[in-house]
Structure formats: structure tokens, C-alpha cells
Chain A
């Protein structure tokens, strides 16, 4: 290709006109919005206006005549447990001072404005982070190194100048102005970057295959897989919403490396906010000549189309995704031929995941060694993990590979909610598995986790506690894969259905020890016989549950007991006569009048009438209602 034309370095078109006295940044990711951040943002704008002291300005549009403030919506700031998060930076005599408030409601805004922004005294009780002293949330942030998430929660994702100011499109500039495609592939190969979508295949090798593959008419395709389907993983969502340009930049760098001039960004339909921001970003990037023909004045052209998914988990599988883009039912096909040889419309095609691509510009700018210096054994660099479920600090944490599960869950995540007992961590979604406490000191890297029967996958970590039933959790994932099975191959279509049937039977109290052997047997057949990854890994949640929590399965099929009290058919409610005060609170809430007893005498539940709704259990103030 060579660099025949002069390549122009991109720069912001509208630099900031003024530095506001107060900078307020509010998370407008899906999680933040769910917590009410839009209302908080509005309350700040209106509240600041009312002060009459601070004019609310847009720093790129307006001059700051006297005193002014800027209110910016950003992407996800990571600590979703404390959403809406509001970062307030005040500048006095040019010295910035930054604090972050958590769980802000519109009602708190006026007080923050009067006491902190105008009065200069941050409201300590509401702070999550402050530069003045350590808080309980410091461990959540201090262990993190944000490479893939470097701009998420910092910049305004709807403002291309924000991205350009934060060295946006400089990686692409470096590539176009000073590197050959082979050098780009080499760089990514040396960084040790592996696919963050789940498979963990070397990104550099994938690019090399696609770069070397001949195309009959010279056309190659570069696809970004934004079909983040694992229930419980939301890192791609956060990158797409919070830093959409980084994904386009990563795609353009990859397309240059493999010689593709057309690309598709496939986003799942369930992410409307991500889709909206991607459309804005693409339009802006095209208008600035950062996507499209002769990017930055170079010979390189790259045209991207956004493809909206239509709700099918299996489309995350690369051959299925290509079918979907071609307008067909999204069914996987046998490999080989691999997409690198014959992919979309039978042309060499490369597919990478969102998180993988978002870190590519960083690697180009900072060098392969900087990325490879982090990590553990064959897993280099950092990975974003989505902490959710029964963990105190739910959110997104990007850490170097090789931290132990315990460090991630207990130090960063702050341990289990409400001081309940840890039961398991579910890793890798429907293709992964549940790992028990005894494995928590394992390092999180691809090879180690694979050996346990789970997978790192896309990085979802769902913590479950003593109140969750392991059989029910396994059934949950089976129901998911069964519903999402495309139906093309028999082992997956029939096998998952049969497995689900057995798990239903066990949860409904009709299971026998023989069912467990049968279950294990089908698992093996589905694993070996399925056509694609969805089917081949579908048994993982069941196999790991059986491997590490056999006791709980045995209790279900032998004693017909669910220790967590989740499987309703197995629950029995009773009242402890010693603890019961006879207050009659339970009698009043029971919808079927199954509880009887005189006032101030111990009450009794008639198990024939009881519908196991748990109302009495919730209501009793003396913990006299027992669930077993």
C-alpha cells in the first residue's frame, strides 16, 4: 500500500473556549439511566441556573463571561452499585479539586450546589471518592488499570472533539502515516492480545490469516461483533455507549492491517442507547474524514455499516453473524472454511469483539510491550470483568489478567452482599460454569479457568450466595441455551431440551438419583456432537455444578430438599413454636388462610393449604417462620 499521500493528523475542530469553574460529569450509561441519572443531570442544570452565580455553559460553544459551570453526560463510570455517580471538579485559583458523589437523587442536588459548589465544603456523607482522603470505595478503583475503558465515563461519547482531545484517532493516524499493514499485524501479535469475546484466540494471528488470505476481487470485510449476548456481561455495552469512536478507530486499524475496505458493526437490538450513540459517532467520523474514502488524506478507505441485530444469541457465533448480516436466519455453519478464507459473501473476513477492538488504538499508541508487560503467563494485558449478582460493589472492573478470583470478588467487589455466605461465582455465562469457594485463589487467565470447566468468556462474574440454588442456576442457563438453540443440529436442539427436562424434574421434586447419571450422559453427547460453540459449551454450567456442588443435587433427588429455599415445590414453611409470639401478623398476610392459632399462642401452618408464597416468612418480625 505505502503512503503516497500526506496524511493529516486529526485534531479537535472546536477546542474548548473556556475552562469552567465547575465541571460536573454524570453517568448516562444504561445502568446510570436506570438509577435516574437523567433526572439528576436536569436537576443540576436547573439548580445551577437558579443560583444566578454560575452560568451553565457548553465549553466548546460558549464563552465564560464571569463564573460558569459545565454539566456533561458521560458513559458508565464502573461502580454501578453507587449509580447515579456524579463527579464534581471545582477550580479555585486554577487548582482543581475532584470528588465523586454516589447514589445521587434530584433531591440532593440543591444541597450539593449550595454547600459544596458555592460553599466549598463537599458533603462527606454522600461521597464515594475524594482526593482528600481514602474512602471504602478506593479498593474498587485502585486495583484497576483502564486500557479498554480508558475513556469510558470520562469523555462525552456524543462529542467527537472530546474523543479527539483525549488522543482519539491518533492510533489510526500513526498507522496510516508510519506503519505498513504487516507492521500493524506484528504489533498486535507481539502485544499478546487475545479475543475478549470469549474464545481467547490470538487477535494478531487472526489478522495475519485474514491479511494473507487472497480475495478473488480484492474485497475483504472487517466485522465488529457487538452482539454481547451473555446474560450478565455488559462491558461491551459500556464501551459502545461510553466510547463509540474507540471501536470505530480499532476497526479502521484492523481493516488497514488486513486490507479490508468494508466493515460492519453488528450491535444487538437490546442496546438502543449504544445504537444511538454509534450512529452519531459514525456520522461525525465520516464528516471529519476519519471513516470513508481516503481517511485523513491517505490512500486507505474504509466504509462501515451498522447492522442492528434482531434478537438471537447464536448470532454472536461468527459464522452465524455473517449469515445474519447477509439477511438470512442466523445459523452457524461448519468450519472450515474459516471466515479468514471465506466469510461474508464468500470473501476473507475478520471478526473481532468490541472490547478487543477498543484496546487496539491504545496498543498502537503505547506499543506492544506496554500491553504485554501486564498480565499472567499466556494471558496478557488487562480484561474487563462485569461484577454482578450478590456482590457489594456491582460494576465493571478492568484489571490485569492473573488477579485471583478472590481479589476480584472480595477486594474489588467488596465481598458478598448483606454478609451472606459465598456460594459460587458463575463465569463465562451460558458457556461457562459455577466455581466454588475452594477455587477462589486461582488466577484469572484463560488456561487456568478452562481447566476448571468454566471459561473466562466475555468476563461476566455473577456472584451467587447461600440464598441461590445451584440446581436452579444450572437450569436457568439451560433454559437460556435451549431457547436460543438455532435448531440446526440435533445434539443441541434435542439434547438441551432433554437436559432442561431433567433439571425441571429435579427442581419440581420429582428427580431420582438415576436422573443425575442420565444428565451427565447427555451432557457429554451434546458437548461432543454439537455443530457450533453454543451447543458444545451448553453443558458447561451443568457439568461444573455437578462437579463442584454434587451434594446439592443429591439433596434435591434423594431428600427432595432445596437448601436455598428456591425450588418452590421443595420448600416447606413451618412456625417455630418457641419463637412465635402469637402476634397474628402472619395470619393477616396469608392469602389462603393456611395459618391458624389463638392470639399470643404459637401459630401453625397447614402444609396442605400452604401455596408457598413466602408472605408469612417475609412478614414475621421474630424469625419464627422457618423455610426448609
Chain B
């Protein structure tokens, strides 16, 4: 299950110490912070900026320049619909639309239960398998809109099963 705030704080301090004084470390520090907290809250940004010896405005400038960084909380799992050229000409638009319809959200939004986010991304490098959708770090290829929804449904079922199991274990304790 999730880590406690104390554990996250510990990791964050470790991260800041690791990069303190290193030139050009602002980007990896932000990446590390996002990996710990899931997004970049204001307080985290302030502390990263201080550790990097930069003003907050610079850290914010960098964070808003790169598409990887998020300033708002992000759902637990990410469905990335590839919109590279090969995927685009092979029907990625329709695939995206069906997935959005299935989850009831638009690209860039979180589901209300904070379990899923849908993103449109540029090329994930599996053009030979277009159109491609990545669910977390796992790529699925040669999709049709129907198959894509099935992939998401299968993943949702898996997640639900794991959560139920976790809940069960906690109940046993």
C-alpha cells in the first residue's frame, strides 16, 4: 500500500541532499520529487528551488516548460494513447475517443476515484505496432477502438482484484 508521509519526506530529503550543489540538477530534482509525490505541490517546488540555489520562478518556469511535470495531483494509473504519426494514420483518434468515453473523462483529466488518467502522448517508439496504448508502463499494440477498451477493462479488473486482495489481507490482520 501507499507510503506514509514520513517515508516520503525522508526520500525527498535524501533526493535533495543527493543533488545539492550539482550543476544543472534542477530537472532531475523535479523528476525525482514528482516520482516521490506523484506531482509537484507548491511547498515541494519551493524546497527544490532552494536546494538548487535558484529562485522559485526559475523552478516553476522549468516545470511548466516540460510536459512531464504536473502541478496537480495525478490519478494512480495512466492510460497513454500514442498519437505518433503511425498511430495517427492508423486510427489513434478513434481509439482515444473510445477510451475517453469508457472512462468518462477527457485526455488530461482524472477519474473521480483518482484511479485513472488519460493522456495523449507523442510517439512511444512502437510505431510498427500502431495504434498503441500504454497502460502504466505496459504497451499494447495493433488496437482497434474495441480492443483498446477491452485492454483497459482487463486492467481495471486486475486492479480491482488486487485491491480486493489487499483489503482482504488488511482485514485479516
Residues of A within 8 A of B (CB): 29-31, 33-35, 80-81, 83, 228-234, 237-238, 269-272, 274, 307-313, 324-331, 345, 386-390, 394-396, 426, 429, 460, 462, 464, 468, 473, 476-477, 480, 486
Q: Give Cα A228 to B28, complex, Å.
A: 19
Nearest B residue to A394, CB-CB: B128
Q: Contact: A329 with B61, CB < 8 Å?
A: yes
Q: How far is the CA of A473 from the CA of B127 in the complex (A)?
A: 16
CA separation between A8 and B71, bound complex, in Å? 51
If A312-B65, A312-B67, A388-B85 touch, does A234 touch B127 (CB 8 Å cutoff)? yes
Known contacts A33-B138, A388-B85, A426-B85: does B66 contact A312 (CB below 8 Å)? yes
Q: Chain B: residues with CB nearer than 8 A to chain A?
A: 23-28, 30-31, 52, 61-62, 65-69, 83-90, 121-130, 132, 137-142
Q: Report 27 cross-chain contacts, Cβ distance below 8 Å, ordered by A residue.
A: A30-B139, A34-B129, A35-B129, A80-B129, A81-B128, A231-B84, A231-B87, A232-B123, A234-B125, A270-B122, A270-B124, A308-B27, A312-B66, A327-B23, A329-B61, A331-B65, A388-B128, A389-B85, A389-B130, A394-B86, A394-B130, A396-B128, A460-B85, A460-B127, A468-B89, A473-B89, A476-B85
B128 lies within 8 A of A83 (CB) = yes
CA distance A228 to B139 in the complex (A): 18
Nearest Cβ in chain A — how far from B143, in angstroms? 10
B122 near A480: Cβ-Cβ < 8 Å: yes
A310 pairs with B124, CB closer than 8 A: no
- Least CB distance from B6 to A in Å reads 27
A387–B86 alpha-carbon span in the complex (Å): 9
In the complex with contacts A269-B68, A464-B89, A229-B122 CB distance below 8 A? yes
Residues of B within 8 A of A234 (CB): 123, 125-128
Please tell me if the beta carbons of B66 and A311 are within 8 angstroms of each other in the complex: yes
Out of B90, B123, B126, which one reaches A34, CB within 8 Å? B126
| B155 smallest CB distance to A (angstroms) | 14
Cβ-closest chain B residue relative to A345: B23
User: CB-CB < 8 A to B65: which residues of A?
Assistant: 312, 329-331, 486
> Could you tell me if A35 and B141 are in contact, using CB atoms closer than 8 angstroms?
yes
Q: Choose among B62, B127, B137, B140 the residue that contacts A272 (Cβ–Cβ < 8 A).
A: B137
Say which residue of B25, B90, B126, B139 sits within 8 Å of A327 (CB atoms): B25
Return chain B residues, CB-CB under 8 Å to A477: 85
In the complex, A501→B143 CA distance in Å?
A: 30
A-B pairs, 3 with minimum CB distance: A80-B128, A310-B66, A232-B85
CB-defined contacts of A231 to chain B, threshold 8 Å: 83-88, 122-123
Which residues on A sit within 8 Å (CB–CB) of B66?
Answer: 309-312, 330
Task: Please determine whether A310 and B24 come into contact, CB atoms closer than 8 angstroms.
Answer: no
- A contact residues around B86 at 8 Å (CB): 231-232, 388-389, 394, 462
Per the bound structure, the CA–CA distance linking A524 and B128 in Å amounts to 34
* B-chain residues with CB within 8 Å of residue A476 when the two chains form the complex: 85, 88
Q: How far does the alpha carbon of A390 sit from the alpha carbon of B141 in the complex, in Å?
A: 15
B158 to chain A, nearest CB (A): 14
Please, which residues of chain B bring their CB within 8 A of the CB of A328? 26, 62
With contact pairs A34-B139, A330-B66 given, residues A429 and B125 touching in the complex (Cβ less than 8 Å): no
> Which among A29, A310, A395, A464 has the highest number of chain B CB atoms within 10 Å?
A310
- Contact across chains for B67 and A310 when beta carbons are under 8 A apart: yes
Report the minimal beta-carbon distance from A196 to chain B, rounded to whole angstroms.
16
CA distance A80 to B139 in the complex (A): 14
**Contacting pair B23 A271 (CB below 8 A):** no
Q: Which residues of A contact B123 (CB under 8 A)?
A: 229-234, 270
The distance in angstroms between the C-alpha atoms of A269 and B87, with both chains bound, is 19
User: Is B127 within 8 A of A394, CB to CB?
Assistant: yes
Smallest beta-carbon distance B144→chain A, Å: 10
Expressed in whole angstroms, the minimum distance between the Cβ of B117 and any Cβ of chain A is 15
Given A274-B125, A462-B127, 17 more contacts at CB 8 Å?
A30-B139, A80-B127, A83-B128, A230-B123, A231-B86, A232-B127, A234-B123, A234-B128, A270-B121, A310-B67, A326-B23, A328-B62, A330-B65, A345-B23, A388-B128, A394-B86, A396-B128
Report how far A426 CA is from B85 CA in the complex, Å: 9
Expressed in whole angstroms, the minimum distance between the Cβ of A387 and any Cβ of chain B is 8
B87: chain A residues at CB < 8 Å are 231
| Chain A residues whose C-beta falls within 8 Å of the C-beta of B31 in the assembled complex | 308, 310
In the complex, chain B residues whose CB is within 8 Å of the CB of A386: 127-128
Distance between B102 CB and nearest chain A CB, rounded to angstroms: 15
Taken together as a complex, chains A and B put the C-alpha atoms of A274 and B130 apart, in Å, by 19
CA–CA, A46 and B74, complex, Å: 38
| Nearest-neighbor residue (CB-CB) of A306 within chain B | B28
Query: How far is the CB of A33 from the nearest CB of chain B, in Å?
Result: 6
Which residues of the partner chain B approach A388 to less than 8 Å between Cβ atoms?
85-86, 127-128, 130
Q: How far is the CB of A459 from chain B (nearest CB, A)?
A: 12
B28: chain A residues at CB < 8 Å are: 307-308
Q: Once the chains are docked, how many angstroms separate the CA of A90 from the CA of B61?
A: 58
Q: How far is the CB of B108 from chain A (nearest CB, A)?
A: 13
Q: How far is the CB of B29 from chain A (nearest CB, A)?
A: 9
- Taking the closest CB of chain B, its distance from the CB of A415, in whole angstroms, is 16
Given A308-B28, A310-B66, A327-B52, A31-B90 contact (CB < 8 Å): no
